């Protein structure tokens, strides 16, 4: 890994310490609702894929409690698309200084909100291993009920705020052709600290196939994000 990435990761850990009071909530805030016509990275929209209403009244809440070695993350959504698979993602690439960071597993700018030790199950359900994906709940997914309400409550083995994602806990690259990327800790983007990036956390729906595609967000609609 390049020195600049190490330096940035260290700087973020220091700058994030003001947020990180061990065992306390470091974030307790509303998620931002993306517009129904907002295009996801796969080129899809809520209004184009999810049918019926545009769900503009949907709301979301994010709570993160953490200590030095782990974080408990709670995502709650209400009045979103009913009976639909959602996944939660964390940004690790964006802005000046992060252009060469990305995910060493996929080369993408975001990674599932999961522990580094969940690599095997995520990789098994990624498009290069399982093109259909999984309708089961993986570590970063939840399904809304008939009212469009749903919750993800998970504990990950790293601090989300001011931390770095532990890619070194997996063995080898996920996607064929990415074996030239070292599996090293990669700083988590937090736009609140001026480190660039369009978001820290993003919540997306999967209206087309109601499936989780492991390490790839695949076809999805941008629903909520933080900040």
Question: Cα separation of 134 and 121, whole Å?
Answer: 10
> pLDDT by residue for the chain (227 residues), tens digit each?
333 333 333 333 333 333 444 468 899 999 999 988 889 989 999 999 998 778 989 999 999 999 889 999 999 999 999 999 999 999 987 444 444 557 888 888 899 999 999 999 999 999 999 999 999 999 999 999 999 999 999 999 999 999 999 999 987 778 887 776 678 888 899 999 876 788 999 999 999 999 999 999 999 999 999 99
Structure tokens at 58: 């949907």
Structure tokens at 107: 């080369």
Which stretches within the chain are classed as H helix?
A: 3-15, 46-49, 119-124
Asked if 113 and 73 touch (Cβ cutoff 8 Å), the reply is yes
* Collapsed DSSP state (helix, strand, coil) of residue 192: helix
* 186: Cα within 13 Å, side-chain hemisphere: 29
* Collapsed DSSP state (helix, strand, coil) of residue 203: strand
């Amino acid at each position: 890994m390049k020195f600049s990435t190490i330096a940035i990761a260290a700087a973020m850990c220091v700058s994030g310490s003001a947020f990180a009071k061990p065992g306390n909530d470091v974030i307790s805030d509303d998620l931002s609702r993306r517009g129904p016509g907002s295009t996801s990275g796969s080129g899809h929209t809520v209004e184009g894929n999810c049918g019926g209403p545009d769900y503009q009244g949907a709301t979301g809440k994010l709570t993160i409690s953490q200590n030095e070695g782990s974080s408990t993350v709670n995502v709650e959504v209400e009045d979103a698309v009913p009976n639909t698979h959602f996944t939660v993602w964390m940004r690790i690439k964006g802005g000046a200084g992060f252009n060469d960071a990305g995910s060493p597993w996929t080369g993408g700018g975001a990674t599932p909100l999961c522990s580094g030790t969940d690599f095997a199950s995520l990789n098994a359900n990624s498009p290069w291993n399982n093109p259909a994906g999984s309708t089961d709940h993986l570590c970063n997914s939840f399904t809304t009920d008939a009212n469009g309400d749903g919750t993800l409550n998970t504990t990950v083995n790293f601090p989300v705020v001011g931390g770095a994602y532990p890619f070194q806990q997996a063995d080898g690259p996920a996607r064929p052709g990415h074996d030239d990327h070292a599996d090293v800790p990669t700083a988590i983007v937090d736009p609140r600290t001026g480190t660039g990036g369009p978001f820290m956390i993003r919540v997306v729906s999967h209206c087309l196939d109601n499936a989780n595609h492991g390490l790839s967000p695949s076809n999805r609609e941008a629903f909520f994000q933080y900040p």
